[in-house]
Structure 1
Amino acid sequence: MERAGPRLSRTLALWAALSPGLGLAQEAGPFATPLPQTLPSPSVTGPQLPAPTLEGEAPLSLTATLAGSDRPLRSGLAWRIYEDRTDAGRPAIVARSSAADPSFTLSPGSYVATVTYGFASASKRIVMAGAPVSDQVKVSAGALKLSGAIGEVRIPGAQLAFSVFVPIGTNSEGRLVRSGVKAGELVRLPEGTYHVVSTYGESNAIQRADLKVENGKVTDATLNHRAATVTLKLVAAPGAEAFAGTAFSVLTPGGDTIREAIGAFPAVTLAEGDYVLIARHDGQVFTREFKVESGLDRDIEVVARAS
């Protein structure tokens, strides 16, 4: 085969440079520059476009306000959007949110928007027809804020627990709404009358009250206890050191057990009244009667005398 002349070599080199991927660069002679068989795809950057919506979908924007007020609620909300079904089947949840002012993208149709605010809730029927909709849901709710005191002295919140009931008929504790409510906690409730039970300590220091909750208002109530905290001791003589590992039982004069405790000097909170204290230590039993006066915290000593 004859060697290509200078003019032919230059022609082949130019053809290879203009026609990548044809394999001619390997045969174009010493004047050709090898090119890659494939070229990288160009990189295109730009702003991210929103995901396309289905035909007819449109946004639904919602806010919640307290009944009798135009001030929107900004926290403690739970939203759910249900299908508005005409059959007897259970409606399906199509969207949910905990935002103060949520926005949902919905297809044309009928829906029920429900918002929960604490133990209060409200709902509204919404019709979507392919256009944006903004609406407002009114919630009939107020709140309870509870605390306890003995006379003018506020009881530390850690020593209190509250339970909230809805009265049913003549039963003031007909239905439990919430137990374990802490002092100072805001309990959101529908408008109405509630029965509140306040427990101070872990024994029988209990107070009750009926409280009314009004729309858009916080009912701040202090339940006044008549109780005291006593420290139980078994001693060899008045004012002497207490015996460790003593088992104590606090009884009513009728023999009902109110509280049991073990230790050298356990503290017990009791409602005011008369009690019997039984102390057991090393197989021996000692007793004494004592009285609790409201607001008077003191030591109750049982003297261990040989029988």
Structure 2
Amino acid sequence: MSHASRHPVFPVPVRRDRAGHGAVRALRFSAVAIGALLASLPAQAQTRTPLDQLGGSIPHAQALPSQAMPFVGSPPPAGKPSGSAGPAARLPSGGQESAAADPHTILPQPPAGKVAIGMSARFGDKEPLIPRGLVWRVFADRPEASGAYPLVAEAADPAPVFFLSPGGYVVHVAYGLASVARRIVVGEESRREQLVLPAGGVTLHSDVNDKPIPAQKVTYDIFEGSFLQGRASSRPYFRGANSGDLIILPAGDYYVVSTYGEGNAVIQADVAVAPGKVTDTTLHHRAGEVSLRLVKIAGGEALADTQWSVLTPGGDSIKESINTLPVFVLAEGEYTAVARYDGKTYTKEFTVEAGKDGPVEVLLGEQVTAPSLDVQEGSGD
């Protein structure tokens, strides 16, 4: 189970994943990828993605690697346009966006033989401009002899200005794990271009009986589709997210798998990501944390060199450990603890209730069936 709330445009940058790579990833296109893009777009691509307002809820994990995208050429430093700014040049009249809606009211005068193209992006047709965290790349729209599409320019500004020679290009912009591309044809006049990048954010938390679960004990994998409606992808879209992480995704439907501790405390929930909104979601686990101990007397010291297994009533193994004091997080239900020590096997039945953590002690040499965590005796053979 889960509940979610919506907030307006997220103000913080995307976190880095566990491999140390920025969640805003450097994008490069393969010849096949750009060829397919160019085949699908008209010469003057002016399409806009419809604004999609979705509501939803959610319950985890490392971003998957982006597609291989070879490029050639020497890009300018990130955050700087390809060229030097000169005197200002006013935009031609009849632009697609009003001056109040676009940061490029006046564009810098381009160098000789170049044209200034001012770029910006917004969350939707009627949504705000994206203020930070964008990564822009401009590719030539024709491959070289090697088959690679040259990278012409790149920037990490929210509204960069690129100085380009007349001709065709593919402009790609990424924000978190969301991205969009447009083919443009540069003529003789400077102008501005604005892309619609429908992206939203989600932050994840978990609790048991309204008590927050420590962030280090729970993780999340995010999948495309809907678990409840049977439209679920089998491959994680984002893996290994932590509680409180802000994860930026393309707007759409997702479902999240939340894993609490080491055991079988795993739950799923659907979430809908809306453009320009952050969905803050809490998932409600029904599980308990148990520690296993093999002892000679109740409350005694745990015996070392004990091998442990936790089984379901049907005999299926849930978890194994060679630790003296293993700790497992288990979903509500009935289980059997199996301890192997000094050539003998000792077992004990116990019950886990949501939010009720505690020890499970298995005693040497006694045969007592324990119905719950509160009973400390065990049975051996």
- Superposition TM-score, scaled by structure 1 size: 0.76
Q: Identify which of 103, 123, 126 aligns with 1:66.
A: 123
**Residue in 2 aligned with 1:249?**
309
* Rounded Cα–Cα distance in structure 2 between residues aligned with 1:212 and 1:206: 20
Give the letter aligned to residue 210 of structure 2.
E
How far apart are residue 69 of structure 1 and its match?
4.4
What is the percent sequence identity of the aligned residues?
40
Higher strand proportion (structure 1 or 2): 1
| Gaps in structure 2 of 5+ consecutive residues | 1-83, 87-109, 366-379
SS of the aligned residue for 2:131 comes to: coil
* Rounded Cα–Cα distance in structure 2 between residues aligned with 1:54 and 1:146: 48
Do the aligned partners of residues 275 and 110 (structure 1) sit closer, same or farther apart at CA in structure 2, a change above 3 Å counting?
A: same
**Residue in 2 aligned with 1:80?**
137
Which sits farther off after the overlay, 89-98 or 277-286?
89-98
**Residue in 2 aligned with 1:44?**
none
How far apart are residue 129 of structure 1 and its match?
2.5
**Residue in 1 aligned with 2:180?**
122
**Residue in 1 aligned with 2:298?**
238
The answer to whether residue 222 in structure 2 is matched with residue 164 in structure 1 is yes
Question: Which stretches of structure 1, 4 residues or longer, exceed 4 Å deviation after superposition?
Answer: 50-55
Question: Contact conserved, 1:167 with 1:175, CA < 8 A, in 2?
Answer: no
Q: Identify which of 280, 284, 287 aligns with 2:347.
A: 287
Q: Identify which of 308, 319, 328 aligns with 1:268.
A: 328
Aligned residues: 257
**Residue in 1 aligned with 2:76?**
none
Do the aligned partners of residues 51 and 60 (structure 1) sit closer, same or farther apart at CA in structure 2, a change above 3 Å counting?
A: closer
Q: Please give the residue correspondences for 1:8-47 in structure 2 after superposition, counting only pairs within 5 Å.
A: none
The answer to whether residue 195 in structure 2 is matched with residue 137 in structure 1 is yes
- Deviations along 1:17-56, one digit per CA (max 9) or x if unpaired, are xxxxxxxxxxxxxxxxxxxxxxxxxxxxxxxxx6998741
How far apart are residue 85 of structure 1 and its match?
4.2
The answer to whether residue 114 in structure 2 is matched with residue 57 in structure 1 is yes
**Residue in 2 aligned with 1:203?**
263
Greater length-normalized contact order (CA 8 Å, ≥ 6 residues apart): 2
Question: Contact conserved, 1:69 with 1:216, CA < 8 A, in 2?
Answer: no
The answer to whether residue 216 in structure 2 is matched with residue 154 in structure 1 is no
Q: Identify which of 223, 235, 239 aligns with 1:179.
A: 239
Which sits farther off after the overlay, 60-69 or 285-294?
60-69
| Gaps in structure 1 of 5+ consecutive residues | 1-49
> Aligned Cα RMSD in Å?
2.5
* Rounded Cα–Cα distance in structure 2 between residues aligned with 1:176 and 1:107: 41
Question: Contact conserved, 1:68 with 1:215, CA < 8 A, in 2?
Answer: no
Question: Contact conserved, 1:64 with 1:72, CA < 8 A, in 2?
Answer: yes
Do the aligned partners of residues 86 and 234 (structure 1) sit closer, same or farther apart at CA in structure 2, a change above 3 Å counting?
A: closer
